[in-house]
Amino acid sequence: MQSIYGRQLGWTWPKRPQVSAVTTAKTSISRPGPAFFSIRTNTRPALHPVRLAQLSLLQQRNYANHKLDFHAIDQKWRHQWKALRESQSDPAASNGKLVDDSRVKYVLPMFPYPSGTLHLGHLRVYTIADVIARFYTLRGHNVLLPMGWDAFGLPAENAAIERGIDPATWTRTNIAKMKSQLDLMNGSWDWDRELTTCEPDFYRHTQKLFLMLHERGLAYQAESEVNWDPVDMTVLANEQVDANGSSWRSGAKVEKRRLKQWFFRISEFREELLRDLEVLNKDDAWPERVLSMQKNWLGKSTGATIKFPVLAMGQDSHAAIEVFTTRPDTLFGVQYLALASTHPIVKSLALSDPELQAFLDTLPGFPRDSKVGYMLPQLRAVNPLAYHEGTPEATKASIPIYVASYVLGDYGEGAVMGVPGHDERDHAFWKEHRYDEPVRYVLAASEDESTTALRNEPFVEHGVMTGHSGPFEGKPSVEGSKILVAMLEAAGLANPMDKWRLRDWLISRQRYWGTPIPIIHCRQCGPVPVPEDQLPVTLPDVRDHWTHGKPGNPLEKTPDWVNVSCPKCGEAAKRETDTMDTFVDSSWYYARFTDPHNEQQPFSQEAARQLPVDLYIGGIEHAILHLLYARFIYKFMASTELFPPTTAANEESTHEPFTRLITQGMVHGKTFSDPSSGRFLKPDELDLSNPAEPKVASTGATATVSFEKMSKSKYNGVDPTDFIAKYGADATRAHMLFQAPVSDILNWDEEKIIGVTRWLSRLYDYVKSLAETEPDTTDSDGSATAHLREQARRLDEMTEAELSRWDADAAIWRSVQSTIESVTASYQKVYPINTVVSDLMGLTNTLHERSETASALVQREAASAAIRMLAPITPAFAEECWTVLYPGARGSMFQTAAFPEPDDTAPLLQPRKQPVAIQINGKLRGVVEIPKPPARLEGDAEALREWMVAEMFKTEEGKTKFSEGAWDVRKPKRVILARGGKTINFVV
């Protein structure tokens, strides 16, 4: 069968047979490739012209009062999509759609914690994910869009204690609620891949990964000082303690304890974790802010460890304090040393110094950046440069030693050299404790020191060493730094090295609701891994513990579960009662989605070929913890037999779990407060009879309106389920995406949705009017592209009526082509998806403006393109429009249609007319549209001027406005063409 290819439409129209009447035939749809599909039929599809009277009536309709039943459309298509999914085992159900495995697109939103209800933040991230997935589906990709539940964690356990129920029951109930909410969003989730981290069929593989790490020496147990949450009664990683020393979840002040804990040796991968940030920085794959936070958390510092001899009671104690510094060039400017509260010298002195111990006891109450300090009595330090004869006397003097809250015990050596002249924190601390002593500046911006910062501020840049640097005066500080380190290294007082802020990942949690650590402790054999054939180690039933609301870890109090035989020697042994940090689950769940039903392995090598995730979408709050741990585990997995051999063997390859990271902004709610007291107002305390001017019901005062983070205390929360029930899922999705770019904060304003619903109603009615009109037998065969090319060849012989129709067709198709390019770019970039809605609103306006004149063929194909461009955002609405426009289509348009692509008609579609501004004595008096000047006038200014004036008088405005009255310009003194012929200035 001969057919004409129409790529921009997504359909291939067959050559029209010579028939005198339009007939109806059974239509079968197939898709020969990912870029397009064809329709095979025995007759030409009916291409309808638009009844002018009908469209005129359509345009006069009051769309604010016309309501399309979006809710009914949602329900209809959710039902049909479900039926299609259930029939996927039938080969005919795919409508011939071909899947090219090489075009797999893995789109993944961060999976939710099952708290019980979805909020608008959930709705936003999952809408974005579904929109992108549907876009790539229409582009011919086999899209992977799974969904699961981050189901372990302290909130479920705390809820169980409060309610007296099992955390598994509470969690599964919440999952059921949230899943039903997700189903209302018109999402395209692959529920066949659903996973839940608290189910044994998932966490058995988490335990398997633990054993693989343990076998490689990357999971180990060690005694260390840990952060203890006295409320949640569990250990916290450093990352889970805020700047004020409080728990990230309970808010309690964290205590320090020494416990034996399990760690993952993430430090072994620190170089790769840092190096590969450069890869993620290319083409803006990851947000710059996230990359910066990752880099700072890794905290690689290149410098040297320098020894400062210590004097006790004025005598050399033969001891030294080691300090790591990245700025050896400021060594001549050291005026004090500061130690962390956990430094061995401080702990030792506190045993005999009650004042020091009292100071240490108060430190947890101060923020980390506090400038409080305690000077150690009868203890001084000596600058290692004091032993060099050229060193200035000021540097040779002994210096005080402080205990300071701003010094961290887990970075460097738990000691810093205080250089007030060249470090902001040191400067502030010095001014707090030695305000009457001068600050020593040993570096300057230039040799004459004329450009150095004011003396009341530290100079923190590299520069030139000053006279306070003794024999190094005049040297560039970078060069001086190298010489100083080499000199001190030769004397045994310095050692060049790199330091990292990153510490190994503490995964032990003294709680029940988490993945059990698969280790058995034997007195003779030590920690013994649970044999793989005994996995999973499942959580025991401790229902009585929750019924009575007991605190602590119930695993420790379950003897039947704890007491076992050693797998090695068979003697009595005990299970590990700590469970894993929930970040372990989320560090690899994205890989499990590729092979969720594999009972033997976390995933197969074949499934691993679908990794990494192409687009990962979630909040900026996970910029450090989750993303860092996921990057570490992925790099580890890529080095094992889980990945194809070539991948695992190539150590130089970049192994990153998420090729592109999208971080969406928060959703803020409309908040009302009393202007007199600032108190937040409840809904029943408001008078919203005039929504534009809300008032305090009790006083009549105008309420203060703001947008703030949603919370119960501000009464500004919005239940997405209620909102969808009111306006429909598709209208809600379009409204949410239209209000702000993806990365920006979204100020949720319900009143603005009327603009979206009005636009969708206009578009639907336009499509319906196209489908309901009589067929036009005069239209050209084939696609709009072929029609426009044919018409372009006969422009010179067209009548005025035909030229008018051409102008309308060209205007519509120009708008279609520019919209396709803009919308495609917005979908691909993700962040400007809000412009997709505005672009399609503009296209809709163009269709209405030109509907009375343009050909039915062009209008029909333009409407088709608009529907397909809108489909990712409003899938059910688009499906409905599609069946109206193509009543013979079967199945879902996401299985049969293709996203429109631009054609090459742009050179043919240049406007025949151009706007020309009409000025009289230099003042603008109107704008007329005249044809573009013929090429024969090029270079002849006088002939061009006469031609343009003549054409201006041919226009309606020229005849009426500028041929009589005060603005009669038929006999000007002079005519001036300006702005390349875009302006005609008549001097009268």
pLDDT higher than threshold 50 for residue 418: yes
Domain membership of residue 699 (yes or no) is no
Quote the CA–CA distance of 893 and 930 in Å, as a whole number: 43
Any residues with CB less than 8 A from the CB of 392 and at least 6 apart, and which?
332, 467, 468, 469, 470
0.75 surpassed by pTM: yes
Count other Cβ atoms within 10 Å, centred on residue 808.
Answer: 20
Tell me, what CATH number does 477's domain have? 3.90.740.10
Q: Is the pLDDT of residue 292 over 60?
A: yes
Residue 724 located in a structural domain: no
Query: Rounded mean pLDDT of the chain?
Result: 84
pLDDT on residue 580 = 96
Residues near 948 by Cβ (< 8 Å), separated by ≥ 6?
916, 930, 933, 977, 981, 984
pLDDT in tens, 888-935: 888 899 989 999 999 988 888 777 777 888 888 888 888 888 777 777
Asked if 332 and 476 sit in the same domain, the reply is yes
- Which tens digit of pLDDT belongs to each residue from 358-371? 999 888 778 777 88
pLDDT band, very low/low/confident/very high, at 946 (cuts 50, 70, 90): confident
Does some domain include residue 533?
A: yes
Higher local confidence (pLDDT), 932 or 560: 560
Two structure tokens written together for 543: 């229902």
**Cα-trace Rg, the chain:** 37
Indicate whether 884 and 763 sit together in one domain. Answer: yes
**What does the pLDDT read at residue 52?**
40
363 and 321 within one domain: yes
The winner for highest mean pLDDT among 56-60, 313-317, 508-512, 948-952 is: 508-512
Domain match, 528 and 407 both: no
Question: In this predicted structure, what is the pLDDT of residue 649?
Answer: 57
Q: Indicate if 312 and 436 belong to the same structural domain.
A: yes
State whether 369 and 472 are in the same domain. yes
Task: Examine the fold and report which residue of 470, 500, 530 is the final residue of a domain before the chain moves on.
Answer: 500
Lowest mean pLDDT among 215-224, 618-627, 712-721: 712-721
Q: What is the pLDDT of residue 845?
A: 95
Taking residues 545-562, report their average pLDDT: 84
- Co-location of 386 and 483 in the same domain: yes
Whole-angstrom Cα distance, residue 850 to residue 258?
77
The CA distance from 268 to 101, in Å, is 35
Q: Which of 3-7, 447-451, 678-682 is least confident? A: 3-7
pLDDT at 11 over 60: no
- pLDDT for the residue 689: 80
C-alpha pair distances (Å), 628 with each of 128, 239, 502, 623, 665: 23, 11, 10, 8, 20
pLDDT(42) > 50: no
Indicate whether 553 and 405 sit together in one domain: no
85-99, 331-345, 413-427, 762-776: the lowest-pLDDT one: 85-99
Query: How much is the pLDDT for 3?
Result: 33
Select from 524, 551, 583 the last residue of a domain: 583
Percentage of the residues of the chain whose pLDDT score is greater than 70: 87
The DSSP output letter for 252 is P
Model confidence pLDDT, tens digit, residues 651-660: 666 899 999 9
Instruction: Quote the pLDDT of residue 13.
Output: 36
pLDDT score recorded for residue 255: 84
Residues 321 and 446 in one domain: yes
Q: Both ends of the chain: CA-CA distance in Å?
A: 67
Question: What is the tally of structural domains in the chain?
Answer: 4
Of 583, 608, 626, which marks where a domain is finished?
583
Judged against a pLDDT cut of 90, whether residue 494 lies above it is answered with yes
| Residue range 663-692, pLDDT digits in tens | 998 888 888 888 888 888 888 888 888 877
Lowest mean pLDDT among 69-83, 172-186, 243-257, 436-450: 243-257
Which spans in 312-390 are helix H? 344-350, 354-362
pLDDT beyond 90 at 543 = no
What single string gives the DSSP state of each residue in 937-981? GTT-HHHHHHHHHHHHHHSHHHHHTSSSGGG--SS-SEEEEEGGG
Query: What would the mean pLDDT of 168-193 be, rounded to a whole number?
Result: 93
pLDDT at 453 over 50: no
Residue 278 lies in a domain: no
- Residue 612: inside a domain: no
Q: Residue 449: what pLDDT?
A: 60
How sure is the predictor about 861, in pLDDT bands with cuts at 50, 70 and 90? Answer: very high
Q: What does the pLDDT read at residue 363?
A: 84
**Between 20 and 223, where is the model more confident?**
223
Query: Which pLDDT value is given to residue 103?
Result: 66
Residue 736 CB: number of other CB atoms within 10 A?
23
Residue 419 pLDDT > 90: yes
pLDDT at position 14 is 35
pLDDT at 94: 39
Give the SS3 label for residue 632.
Answer: helix
pLDDT computed for residue 738 by the predictor = 95
Q: Degrees (nearest 5) of the Cα angle 428, 433, 436? A: 95
pLDDT(92) > 70:
no
Banded pLDDT at 49 (limits 50, 70, 90): very low
CATH number at residue 520: 3.40.50.620
> For 102-120, what is each residue's pLDDT tens digit?
568 999 999 999 988 888 8
Residues 245 and 362 sit within 8 Å (Cβ to Cβ): no
| Host domain of residue 873 | 746-895
Residue 723 lies in a domain: no
Residue 173 pLDDT exceeds 90 = yes
CATH code, domain with 943: 3.10.20.590
> Band of the pLDDT at 46, cuts 50, 70, 90?
very low
377 with 237, same domain?
Answer: no
Residue 187 lies in a domain: no
Sign of CA dihedral 250, 256, 259, 263: positive
Please report the pLDDT score of residue 966 as a whole number. Answer: 77
By mean pLDDT, which of 421-425, 813-817, 843-847, 955-959 is the weakest? 955-959
Q: Which long-range contacts (CB under 8 A, 24 or more apart) does 824-830 make?
A: 824/899, 824/901, 827/131, 827/132, 827/135, 827/872, 830/128, 830/132, 830/615, 830/662, 830/742
Q: Which residues pair with 522 in a beta bridge?
A: 526, 573
What does residue 30 show for φ and ψ, rounded to 5 degrees?
A: -135, 160
Cis peptide bond upstream of 536, omega within 30? yes
The two tokens of residue 965 are: 């009255």
Answer yes or no: is 522 within a domain.
yes
Q: Does residue 968 surpass a pLDDT of 60?
A: yes
Same domain assignment for residues 517 and 492: no
pLDDT of residue 804: 85
- My answer on whether 385 and 523 are in the same domain is no
